Structure 1
């Protein structure tokens, strides 16, 4: 048998105080005499006692756990966002519980059921869309919901988006201003709201300019997708001289297809714009012009909103954060 875990009762006996006094000593803001607190802390240190926050949370209906529901956690942008979210949660005295899903709504539904089962206080959803009935179940169970780059109009949820449509419009304007006349859009087939909105903004700006664009869509939001799309687009007779890629990973693949497979010069023969500003975008081998996702602002807004949702259970809000265009060396200026 394993060694019995040190309990608050053990600390109380060694310190010569009540079990309640030990509980107060480890409760932020609780009133405990200075001498009593010192004896309790010394006893806890001697015994190696640690507060069981999970057990306390089950009693108080506040576990401090926040589910982070995400897919493609290995991608540079998603891993950066998860790192920022966990950092913000820890600073707020909460613990992030990562539930790794695929992109499907069904896997997100299963993840939310797991979050409810573990009595998490909140869920921050980065992937898929929860079914409306499941959303209602979460809210009835007191769980706060924050959706990042996802939409849900029900009360009790906060939707945080970035200005994807505006970025798509700006991407077209930049390529047109660079003198590109055969402009293309390279997109993943993942079909997320963010990718769709970037494409919508790009198409809108092209239509307003009276210019036709070439579109290519396939695969996940990966480097390989970009390599395949780039090879296909740049092998055409009407080869594009400007390409907007809806993610940086796709843009990196497109660039390598242009340079290594087709021996094209960037930006002299083809200009490329990405989206996300992942670490690789700033590498000298890419020096990619792109849009910077406000990762720190997204995380700060998401975690800070948990306080607002706890205070106002009927709160329903939508927040849109701006993105910044980062000019590097893949577009003529």
Structure 2
């Protein structure tokens, strides 16, 4: 079996007839090197198949350029779009993403993170409220920089990015009121992340303040099929709701399909629906879903920009207000 042999900078220098330091300067942005030397080094590197060992270079500067993305539910549309946006931003600043899947709450997650730390990963970005806080503890103990997205914990020296979920929920309530809806419901999962709780609590609080009762149903993971079950529970009540605010778009899609196909209701004439996340599917003509847009590009830019600046001991909190995108699932939208 052939073993991969990595070409060294010394081999390139010998072939090009230059010093080892000349090779290093050639591959260092902004370093001084003559055009003739650059040409000879590049030709030798191309012939030998040489690539710069950025990991070794980084370790000499006490940084590797590796960033852990600690993720749950990575196959959901919103999470995959956030992973895509963050990985693109990391690549733009010459950093490499290492993906750690936390869907399984067993020792494999801890082992994966410890392996990433052993490779001297500089930082971790935790992309949701689901991963256990023990993961955050391990990152802090290992001296990593931290970005926490949609989590309710505060860590010294970390950047915390959260949406103003309560304010968004209040706007959803107003939208239903202006559409003439009187029997309101909130459809949630059993996941219980801080952001999902805040949407529910904000919606209920806005309704109580206005003297309006809200039916709350929770079931299962934050998935399409859970929306089907939630719709069945809500729409078989004697006092059937005429408006449902869903904790995310996947739930909303399940609710809408069940309302129309199983209960023969019309959206938005018989029932209005609002979702949350702004996934691609909610723009499809079969849903045309009014929803709150999670600004994934802004979140990614803030996270990566913060990681590229010198570390600070103080924690920094960033709160973003999601935009309400009006479509046809609410009357008057």
TM-score interval w.r.t. the shorter chain? over 0.9
Structure 2 counterpart of 1:314: 313
Aligned residues: 330
Distance 1:109 1:156 in 2: 22
Structure 1 counterpart of 2:202: 201
Q: CA deviation at 1:104?
A: 4.9
Sort the Cα spacing of 1:131 and 1:192 in 2 relative to 1 into closer, same or farther, 3 A: closer
- Judge which range, 7-16 or 249-258, deviates more: 7-16
Sort the Cα spacing of 1:292 and 1:106 in 2 relative to 1 into closer, same or farther, 3 A: farther
What SS is found at the alignment partner of 1:24? helix
Sort the Cα spacing of 1:275 and 1:135 in 2 relative to 1 into closer, same or farther, 3 A: closer
Q: CA deviation at 1:58?
A: 2.8
1:100-139 matches, cutoff 5 A? 100-102=101-103, 104=105, 111-127=112-128, 128-129=130-131, 131=133, 135=136, 138-139=139-140
Structure 2 counterpart of 1:85: 86
Structure 2 counterpart of 1:330: 329
Distance 1:320 1:228 in 2: 32
Which ranges in structure 2 are unaligned for 5 or more consecutive residues? none
Distance 1:117 1:21 in 2: 31
Structure 1 counterpart of 2:290: 289
Sort the Cα spacing of 1:169 and 1:114 in 2 relative to 1 into closer, same or farther, 3 A: farther
Provide, for residues 111-160 of structure 1, a one-character-per-residue CA deviation record: whole Å limited to 9, x for no partner: 5433312211111101335546x646534544210011113322111000
What SS is found at the alignment partner of 2:52? coil
Distance 2:163 2:98 in 1: 24
What SS is found at the alignment partner of 1:186? strand
Which ranges in structure 1 are unaligned for 5 or more consecutive residues? none
- Judge which range, 246-255 or 150-159, deviates more: 150-159
Provide, for residues 171-195 of structure 1, a one-character-per-residue CA deviation record: whole Å limited to 9, x for no partner: 1111111111110000011111110
Q: CA deviation at 1:293?
A: 0.7
1:4-83 matches, cutoff 5 A? 4-83=5-84
Contact residue 68 and residue 126 of structure 1 kept, 8 A:
yes
Spell out structure 1 runs of 4+ moving beyond 4 A. Answer: 103-111, 134-137
- Judge which range, 9-18 or 122-131, deviates more: 122-131
TM-score with structure 2 setting the length: 0.94
TM-score with structure 1 setting the length: 0.94
Distance 1:197 1:262 in 2: 30
Contact residue 108 and residue 130 of structure 1 kept, 8 A:
no
What SS is found at the alignment partner of 1:274? strand
Provide, for residues 210-260 of structure 1, a one-character-per-residue CA deviation record: whole Å limited to 9, x for no partner: 111100001001000001101110111110000000100000000011001
CA RMSD of aligned residues (A): 1.9
Contact residue 69 and residue 108 of structure 1 kept, 8 A:
no
Sort the Cα spacing of 1:300 and 1:272 in 2 relative to 1 into closer, same or farther, 3 A: same
